[in-house]
């Protein structure tokens, strides 16, 4: 049997008396694209932060290619090939697009290799037209794409994206969906997102969280038409 890229068993996170993530079993295969959805407070961000090393699980196992990563720092997890785009901005406004990607690439690679990576990532995310612009003057969508490019510059095998289309226009959402599909040609991707239109554009398999646990998981069409999902989430969120 092949070892999963990520596997959790009984993963649990408590904040005092609040059980934010409760006994979650989750498996992600190499090259998979998985969307995590669920209503506010369902535990998606907490689960995501355990994968990235921002939070240390209270209980349970968390494996990356069979090795425990529970308690490793975000930097150690990044070195294992897990790239993360959080909701918090992580680019330098005063630097150009290329400079930002270079800074990120040189964190994990030699300068010579970083230069090659910058060219590859600029092409992959189609940032050539704005490559020399200062990030501070870019539109919201363009900034998000630069953020994604800085994640790709670390050459991860797994890309974790927390609400990548929040605040984007319809065109920007379309473009982001394209970028994510492109990334998924070579890498596994986990996306936490609220935007159902976007989920339908990119998702194959969806995991629905509710009250800290996995409510249902499966093919996007089956999941989004599941009555239990509609009751907890779509009934309120989708028109
Ligand atoms: N640092 C913290 N301290 C205490 N409680 C927390 C903390 N972080 C999250 N929680 C609680 O854990 C539960 C799950 O929150 P979480 O942010 O993971 O949900 P979510 O599904 O990501 O929600 P949203 O879609 O609103 O981002 C909530 O009840 C939240 O209030």
**pLDDT tens string 107-140:** 888 999 999 999 999 999 999 999 999 999 999 9
Residues 48-107 pLDDT 10s: 999 999 999 999 999 999 999 999 999 999 999 999 998 888 899 999 999 999 999 998
For residues 90 and 170, give the distance between their C-alpha atoms in angstroms, rounded to a whole number: 23
CB 156 within 8 A of CB 121: no
Strand 6-15 relative to strand 59-64: parallel, antiparallel, unpaired? Answer: antiparallel
DSSP state of 4: P
For residues 133 and 130, give the distance between their C-alpha atoms in angstroms, rounded to a whole number: 5
User: What pLDDT, on the 0 to 100 scale, is given for residue 86?
Assistant: 86
Vertex 221: Cα angle to 31 and 12 (nearest 5): 60
User: What pLDDT, on the 0 to 100 scale, is given for residue 238?
Assistant: 42
Tell me if 20 CB under 6 Å of ligand 1: yes
Distance 17 CA to ligand 1 centre (A): 13
Residues 159-177 pLDDT 10s: 999 999 999 999 999 999 9
Closest C-alpha residue for ligand 1 atom 7: 15
Q: Which atom of ligand 1 is nearest to the CA of 192?
A: 22
Among the listed residues 37, 135, 56, the one whose alpha carbon sits nearest the alpha carbon of residue 89: 135
Confidence band of 158 (pLDDT split at 50, 70, 90): very high
Closest C-alpha residue for ligand 1 atom 4: 15
**Mean pLDDT rounded to a whole number for the chain:** 93
Distance 35 CA to ligand 1 centre (A): 18
Tell me if 18 CB under 6 Å of ligand 1: yes
User: What pLDDT, on the 0 to 100 scale, is given for residue 177?
Assistant: 95
CA dist 84 → 125, 132, 149, 195, 231 (Å): 16, 24, 11, 19, 31
pTM of this prediction exceeds 0.90: yes
Share of the chain above pLDDT 70, in %: 97
Q: Kindly state the average pLDDT of the residues 216-223.
A: 94
Q: What is the ipTM of this complex?
A: 0.95
Distance 101 CA to ligand 1 centre (A): 31
């Amino acid at each position: 049997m092949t070892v999963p890229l990520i596997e959790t068993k009984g993963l649990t996170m408590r904040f005092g008396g609040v059980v934010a993530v409760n006994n979650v079993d989750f498996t992600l295969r190499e090259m998979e694209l998985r969307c995590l959805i669920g209503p506010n407070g369902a535990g998606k961000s907490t689960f995501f932060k355990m994968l990235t090393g921002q939070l240390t699980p209270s209980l349970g196992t968390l494996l990356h290619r069979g090795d425990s990563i529970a308690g490793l720092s975000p930097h150690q997890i990044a070195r294992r090939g897990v790239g993360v785009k959080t909701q918090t901005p992580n680019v330098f406004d005063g630097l150009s697009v290329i400079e930002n990607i270079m800074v990120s690439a040189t964190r994990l690679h030699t300068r010579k290799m970083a230069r090659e990576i910058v060219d590859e990532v600029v092409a992959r995310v189609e940032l050539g037209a704005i490559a020399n612009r200062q990030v501070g003057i870019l539109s919201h969508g363009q900034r998000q794409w630069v953020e994604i490019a800085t994640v790709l510059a670390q050459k991860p095998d797994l890309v974790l994206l927390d609400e990548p289309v929040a605040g984007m226009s319809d065109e920007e959402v379309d473009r982001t969906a394209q970028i994510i599909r492109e990334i998924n040609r070579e890498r596994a991707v986990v996306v936490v997102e609220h935007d159902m239109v976007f989920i339908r554009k990119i998702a194959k398999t969806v995991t629905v969280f509710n009250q800290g646990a996995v409510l249902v998981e499966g093919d996007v069409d089956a999941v989004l038409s599941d009555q239990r999902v509609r009751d907890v989430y779509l009934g309120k969120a989708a028109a």
